Amino acid sequence: MSPDDGHAPAAGTRASFRRPLLVAVVTTAAVTALSYGLPEEYAATGVGFGFLAATWWVVLRHDSAVVAHHGLSLGGLFDPEPLSARRLTREAARALGWAALIALIVFPFFWVGYVMWWKPTLPFSPAPPPRWNEDVLGQLFVIALPEEAFYRGYLQTAFDDAFHKHVKLLGARVGPGLLVSAALFALGHVLTKVDPNRLAVFFPALLFGWLRARTGGIGAPLAFHAMSNLFADYLARSYGFH
């Protein structure tokens, strides 16, 4: 098990689904308002801060045991204890390894599906690689980290704690939180930008949630989430969509 493993609920407690549902409703309403109320160039950053603020309130302001239970230790970054470079490096390498493995399996199928769904009229012309400072770091820390912390770290864990029903799926112990958090993730995407196509994020969210359950933390889904967004953007640029 990873040191970030957070499967077992706290001893002597029985969580309720009402609290995470209320947190999801309030947070979704807040980030939706931010997405429309802020200037376009600041909207994504504002939404990210909204998710991080909600996650801090319900998880990160508590002790290290609560943080670890929700898979949010991230190699010690969010623990109150002194940071260990060895632990951080080990956990980062593990998360990147899992994300890269899933990407190698999934991305070829995603490419085929992308072409079948969007039917590009221009031939594939390799676009420049993503920019490290704006694209890669932006996807990691502005998009993937806040969303994974809230949806897979807090919501998935909280709903699993509430329902106490789990099954084994390809080596991961998953519960209803996997489906509920993925559905709320998709709903949030549609509310912040009204486009039915955005409901499709439900399916990669299932993979993000499975990675959360399989690895015990949000590091791997965070990395895979960023990789997925960067790959989708790369395909769009390579086929002349933008």
Chain segment 64-82, per-residue pLDDT in tens: 999 999 999 999 888 878 8
pLDDT-derived band at 87, boundaries 50, 70, 90: very high
Q: Is pLDDT of 5 > 50?
A: no
Chain segment 109-122, per-residue pLDDT in tens: 999 999 999 999 99
For tokens 């470079």, what's the residue? 85
Q: What is the pLDDT of residue 51?
A: 98
Closest CA to 58 of 81, 82, 26: 26
- Residues 16-23 have a mean pLDDT of 93
d(CA 145, CA 52): 8
- Residues 166-171 have a mean pLDDT of 93
Q: Which amino acid is at 144?
A: A
| Average pLDDT of the residues of the chain | 92
Longest CA–CA separation in the chain, Å: 60
Crossing angle of the two packed helices 156-163 and 18-37, in degrees rounded to 10:
160
Contact 175, 165 (CB under 8 A): yes
Q: What is the pLDDT of residue 15?
A: 64
- Residues 39-43 have a mean pLDDT of 93
Q: Is pLDDT of 13 > 90?
A: no
